[in-house]
């Protein structure tokens, strides 16, 4: 977000009721999913401040009455008390950004550990919600395969696959200017050690061969655990979809 937004602070809207108008909501329909989707958490964490804002309670009530749309809360948080108190339905999906334990420890400072996120996910399932997971960004480093395999297995140790609506896969990518921000602010980081190339969309990415390997490997590991979740690639072109073997 440090390269997308032009303000350093976090802005919380106070007019949440204006968003909850069925005539204003424009859900995206995709052949991968049985319902169109809308959600929050693209530019901030959906639940980080929910104990203060109470936004989730209004959102949940609204989408309980509009069950022909998926609503997704994207988060890394375990701030789920309001979700549990309000109770969920199948079309309201709580999804967690996840990574290998090493990457969480090294780079996702002040966030819950993987197992804490999964404990929260299990509680949400028990409260009636669907859940999802986003392996994004997957970062290449020595022993990445065994670490991400362990992360996949840990997810399914906690959550039965029949309750997981979707799992997305995305690899490290960034606008060119963000690389400079990372180098200046986090000069001891190791996430830039692997080669990044200027890609088709003007972003720095791993080359196509490496991205294909990442997605193919994780897709197979997920499907070994469960056939149920929809697995899809985030912000990838058709050629990578085809080469990776991830089925649309």
Reported as a single tens digit per residue, the pLDDT across 199-221 is 989 999 999 999 999 999 999 99
Buried b (16+ CB within 10 A) or exposed e, 123-139: bbbebebbbbbbbbbbb
Fold of domain 16-244? pyruvate-formate lyase- activating enzyme (3.80.30)
- 194 bridge partner residues: none
Q: Name the H helices within 89-207.
A: 101-107, 114-126, 144-158, 176-185
User: CB atoms < 10 A from the CB of 145, how many?
Assistant: 15
Per-residue model confidence (pLDDT) at position 4: 65
- 73: β partners: 40, 94
120, 117, 118: which is closest to 82 by C-alpha?
120
Q: Give the global pTM.
A: 0.94
Domain segments of the chain as ranges:
16-244
Q: State the pLDDT at residue 10.
A: 78
State how far the Cα of 127 lies from the Cα of 118, in Å rounded to an integer: 14
> pLDDT below 50 — which residues of the chain?
none
Identify the pLDDT of residue 243.
92
Long-range CB contact pairs, 53-57, < 8 A, 24+ = 53/12, 53/16, 54/82, 55/16, 56/82, 56/83, 56/86, 57/82, 57/85, 57/86
């Amino acid at each position: 977000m440090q390269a997308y937004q032009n303000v350093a602070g976090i802005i919380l809207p106070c007019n949440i009721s204006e968003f909850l108008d069925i005539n204003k909501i424009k859900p995206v329909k995709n052949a991968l999913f049985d319902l169109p989707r809308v959600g929050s958490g693209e530019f901030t964490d959906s639940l980080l401040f929910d104990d203060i804002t109470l936004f989730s309670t209004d959102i949940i009530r609204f989408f309980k009455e509009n069950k022909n749309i998926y609503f997704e809360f994207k988060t890394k948080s375990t701030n789920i008390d309001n979700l549990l108190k309000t109770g969920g339905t199948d079309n309201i999906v709580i999804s967690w950004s996840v990574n290998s334990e090493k990457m969480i420890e090294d780079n996702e400072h002040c966030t819950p550990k993987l197992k804490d996120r999964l404990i929260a996910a299990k509680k949400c399932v028990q409260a009636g919600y669907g859940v999802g997971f986003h392996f994004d960004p997957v970062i290449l480093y020595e022993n990445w395969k065994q670490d991400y395999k362990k992360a996949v297995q840990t997810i399914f140790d906690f959550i039965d696959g029949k309750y997981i609506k979707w799992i997305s896969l995305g690899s490290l990518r960034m606008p060119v200017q963000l690389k400079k921000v990372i180098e200046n602010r986090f000069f001891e980081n190791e996430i830039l050690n692997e080669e990044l190339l200027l890609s088709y969309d003007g972003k720095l990415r791993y080359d196509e061969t490496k991205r294909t390997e990442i997605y193919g490997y994780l897709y197979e590991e997920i499907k070994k655990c469960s056939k149920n979740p929809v697995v899809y690639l985030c912000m990838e072109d058709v050629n990578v979809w085809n080469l990776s073997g991830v089925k649309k």
